[in-house]
Chains A and B, each alone.
Chain A
C-alpha cells in the first residue's frame, strides 16, 4: 500500500477512539438528567461534579484526536 494512503487511513482509524468518549460523556449527562429530574433541588450542587466527570471522560477522546494528529503530521 502507498505509505501516504496508509498514513491517512491510520489517522482516520485513530479518531475512532472518540466513539468511547462520546458514549461515556453521553452516559454521564443522561445519568445527571435522570437524577436532576427526579430531585431538581439537588441538581445545582452536582454541576461541578458533572463537568468534572465529563472533562475526565472527554480527555480520552482528546487523546485519540491528538494521536490522529501525530500520525498525520509526523
Chain B
C-alpha cells in the first residue's frame, strides 16, 4: 500500500541560495511545493476579490453576491464577538479566514495541503497571538495582566485560578496551531488510507480465485473515500471559521478587558 504520509513531504521546486541572518542562523530560501501552494492561495484570493469588486453594481450580480456574502459574514462575526470596535480588527480576521479557507480547499483539489504543515499553522497562530499581545499591551499597558485575575473571584481562589489562567493563555497558540494542523493531517491521512484500500483490494481481486472477495471491500472503500471527501469539505470550511472565531475571541479578551459588552 502506498505510504499515506507521502503527500506531506516537502520538495524543492526552485533551489535558491541560503541566507544567513545574525541571530536566527541559516535559512533555506528554496521555493518549495508548500510555498507554491501558499502563493497560489494568496493569488487566488487577490484574483477573486479583484474580479468581485471590478465592476460593482447597485444590484449585485452573482459573483458580487458571493464576495459581499463572505465579507458580510466575517464582518458580522467580528462585530458580534468584539463589539463596535470589531471593525478595526476585521481586516486581520478576514485575511486569516480567507487564507486558511483557500489553502484548505486547494488541498482538496491539488496534491498538497499547506495547512497540513505545522510550520504554516504555527506561523498563523504566532501571528494571531502576537497581535493579541501587542493590542493588549498597547491598550491596557500593564493592566493587561488583569487578564489572569478574573474579577469577582475571592483572593484565596486566585491562588488556584491565576496559574490555570496563565497556563490556558500560554496553551492558546499551541492549540490554535495544532487544531488546524491535526484536522487537516488526520483528514487527509484517513482519505489516503481508504484510497489505498481500493487499490490493494483491487489488486487482490485481479489475482482471481478467492481474491475476488476483495471486490465488495474495494467498493465499500471507494464509497468511504467519497463520503470522507464530502466530510473534508465541511471540515475545511469549519476549521477556517473556527480559526477566525478564536482569533476574534482572543482579541475580544484584550480589547474589552475588564468590562463585558
Q: Could you tell me which A residues sit within 8 Å of B by CB distance?
A: 48, 51-52, 55-56, 58-59, 62-63, 65-66, 69
Q: Could you tell me which B residues sit within 8 Å of A by CB distance?
A: 77, 80-81, 175, 178-179, 181-183, 185-186, 238, 241-242, 245-246, 249
Other A-B pairs, 18, CB within 8 Å; known A51-B245, A66-B178, A66-B182:
A48-B80, A48-B81, A48-B245, A51-B238, A52-B242, A52-B245, A56-B175, A58-B183, A59-B175, A59-B178, A62-B175, A62-B179, A62-B182, A62-B183, A62-B186, A65-B182, A66-B181, A69-B185
The answer on a CB contact under 8 Å between B179 and A58 is yes
Number of A-B contacts (CB under 8 A): 36
Q: Do A63 and B178 contact each other (CB < 8 Å), given the known contacts A48-B77, A48-B81?
A: yes
B122 to chain A, nearest CB (A): 12
The prevalent SS among residues of B at the interface is helix
Contacts of B241 in A (CB 8 A): 51
Contacts of B185 in A (CB 8 A): 69
A52 and B185 CA atoms in complex are apart in Å by: 21
The answer on a CB contact under 8 Å between A55 and B246 is yes
B171, closest chain A residue (CB): A59
Q: Mind listing 8 A-B residue pairs with CB under 8 Å?
A: A48-B77, A51-B245, A52-B246, A55-B245, A56-B175, A59-B178, A65-B186, A66-B178
